[in-house]
């Protein structure tokens, strides 16, 4: 997984917490003194261990943590690739164009980065349906990223899980609907 996701996880974990929180989390995850370079790549298994440690330390659900982290990560993702985001776009337009315009460029620029191939269908003006298939099974992160993008545009977004690998389905299908548009 791309180093920027690890450095953003650190920011998410330390926000509002005392000094030493990240180091304590690294130890809990068996990764003492590990450092992450935002331009490098690291094993997915380390992200799993870190998220497990956050779940243990916080007592919150794994899906809840991933969704919350996704929402916190979204503004940083938007900033990193702002040049690819058309100024006329709003939440659903960003979602619709993530695969062709953004994840595709991430793969070109970072040979070892492997963002998931997202199928986004604009079914009607206020709705985008995402089909997510990734061995990382991070659909909750996807839900959170979408929520964070909506937060950036000041729009209200509803997400309905139509199918989910965590419920035994073969893939995750999420319907995103904007219920309140930005003025």
Structure tokens at 35: 């450092």
- CB 140 to ligand HEM: min, Å: 8
**Cα distance between residue 55 and residue 120, in whole Å:** 30
Contact region with ligand HEM (CB under 6 A), list: 18-26, 51-59, 107-115, 161-169: 107-115
Q: Which of 77, 76, 51 is nearest to 64 (CA)?
A: 51
Rounded alpha-carbon distances, angstroms, from residue 58 to 49, 135, 159, 161: 14, 25, 24, 25
Binding residue for ligand HEM (CB under 6 A) from 136, 162, 166, 169? Answer: 136
Catalogue the E-assigned strands of 69-142: 118-124, 127-132
**172 makes contact with ligand HEM (CB under 6 A):** no
Q: What is the closest distance, in whole angstroms, from the C-beta atom of residue 61 to ligand HEM in the complex?
A: 17
Q: Decide: is 78 part of the binding site for ligand HEM (CB under 6 A).
A: yes
> Which residues are within 8 A (CB) of 13 and not within 5 positions of it... i.e. 6 or more apart?
21, 22, 25, 54
* CB 19 to ligand HEM: min, Å: 28
| Binding-site ranges for ligand HEM (CB under 6 A) | 1-2, 4-5, 77-78, 80-81, 95, 98, 102-103, 106, 113-116, 118, 130, 134, 136, 138, 141-142, 145-146, 149
């Amino acid at each position: 997984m791309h180093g920027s996701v690890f450095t953003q996880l650190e920011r998410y974990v330390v926000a509002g917490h005392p000094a030493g929180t990240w180091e304590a989390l690294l130890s809990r995850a068996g990764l003492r003194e590990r450092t992450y370079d935002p331009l490098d790549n690291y094993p997915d298994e380390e992200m799993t261990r870190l998220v497990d440690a956050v779940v243990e330390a916080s007592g919150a659900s794994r899906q809840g943590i991933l969704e919350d982290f996704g929402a916190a990560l979204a503004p940083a993702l938007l900033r990193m690739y702002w040049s690819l985001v058309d100024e006329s776009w709003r939440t659903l337009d960003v979602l619709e164009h993530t695969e062709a315009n953004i994840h595709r460029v991430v793969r070109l620029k970072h040979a070892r980065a492997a963002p998931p191939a997202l199928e986004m269908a604009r079914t009607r003006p206020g709705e985008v349906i995402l089909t997510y298939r990734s061995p990382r099974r991070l659909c909750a992160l996807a839900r959170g990223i979408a929520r964070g993008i909506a937060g950036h545009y000041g729009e209200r977004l509803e997400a309905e899980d139509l199918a989910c690998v965590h419920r035994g389905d073969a893939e995750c299908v999420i319907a995103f609907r904007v219920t309140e548009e930005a003025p």
